[in-house]
Chains A and B, each alone.
Chain A
Amino acid sequence: MASYFDEHNCEPLGENERPNEQLLLARLLVDSGIANALNLSFEDLSSQNLSPPISKIWLKEEFPKYCFSESDKCGHKCPICLIAFEEEGQTRAVKIPNCGHIFHCDCILKWFEKTSSCPLCRFELPTDDPSYEEFKRQKKREKIRQQEIEDLHNSMFS
């Protein structure tokens, strides 16, 4: 028999760890439809606007895979320092997965200390903050649910 935690797709709390009450309350309000009735979205109920710093594990394991030596004399500038890639001394560049925006490694690493999103398009990379990751999952869930409702409605008329 699957354990309670497997069945609910969650993990037991560690020692000294407390449940994230705000997140649970937000989810309860959204799932029960009360939030809808009050015209509140999940974003309104969550206090987190800016994504937290980037995941250290991701930086160690994934980040180097996207780094390369910029030798392309295309005249592109790093959007953070505004210095052209081919200018001397600053040649290590990184291409962010998914959005493909290119920055100097040193520049983007400094930005990632603050937040995990791309400075150009806000595409979000993983963070080490469990409640923020949960918030992201919840947003995704909400989107999928909305799509499903829409599909259901559409299927009735086709």
Chain B
Amino acid sequence: MASIASARIKREFREVVTSDELTRCKIKLELLNDNFTELKGEIGGPPDTAYEGGTFQLEIKIPETYPFNPPKVRFLTKIWHPNISSVTGAICLDILKDQWAAAMTLRTVLLSLQALLATPEPDDPQDAVVANQYKSNNKIFLKTARHWTNVYAGSTSAAEPEFDSQVKKLVDMGFDSHKSRVALSSHLWNVEQAIESLYD
């Protein structure tokens, strides 16, 4: 790996782990290997959003050409958000694509992702189903996002118990619990439609 990339990650890593500001914002960074090419990020869901109380894990891969090209980042924790794929965790954020600049750092990337959780951009979606729901049925979107935060990101606030019992209904029929949750979430928690989509 080019020395500039690893040297820079080394410096950035030191900056992130020693920053009080980032601890306050519930942002963490962890090294996964010795040559600074793979890291694990963690961001806390922003307060007063559907993601509040949740902890979201991120996979970060540093390309050889870093910092001239952006790091590759995706969500490992499942999340219901218009700009994040509910299937793969892929992120649609301009600074991780063509709006990247060499002066940006892992710190700014993690802070931007936290900001993305607080302000979704439904007109530039990664997950069309979620974006559509965000725009046409915001109430259900918020409840669903909160439910996912509760189930996958470990928040303890309002659990939407009626969603749990609906998922259980499908699980009792023999469906996988995550697949059932996706089907219900995508069909505004209408059990019949969700079952139909699972049989397709």
Contact = CB atoms under 8 A, between A and B. Distances in A.
A79 B67 CA distance: 10
B68 A82 contact: no
A135 to B, nearest CB: 15
Given A80-B67, A114-B68, A107 B102 contact: yes
Contacts of B12: 82
Interface residues of A, number: 15
Contacts of A111: 68, 102
B139 to A, nearest CB: 28
Given A81-B7, A82-B12, A111-B68, A120 B99 contact: no
Interface in B1-60: 4, 7-8, 11-12
* Dominant secondary structure at the B interface: loop
Contacts of A107: 102
A117 B98 contact: no
Nearest to B104: A119
Contacts of B101: 117, 119-120, 122
B66 to A, nearest CB: 11
Contacts of A154: none
A102 to B, nearest CB: 11
A82 B99 contact: no
B173 interface: no
Interface string B111-125: 000000000000000
A110 interface: yes
A120 B104 CA distance: 8
Interface of A: 49-50, 79-83, 107, 110-111, 114, 117, 119-120, 122
Interface of B: 4, 7-8, 11-12, 67-68, 98-99, 101-105
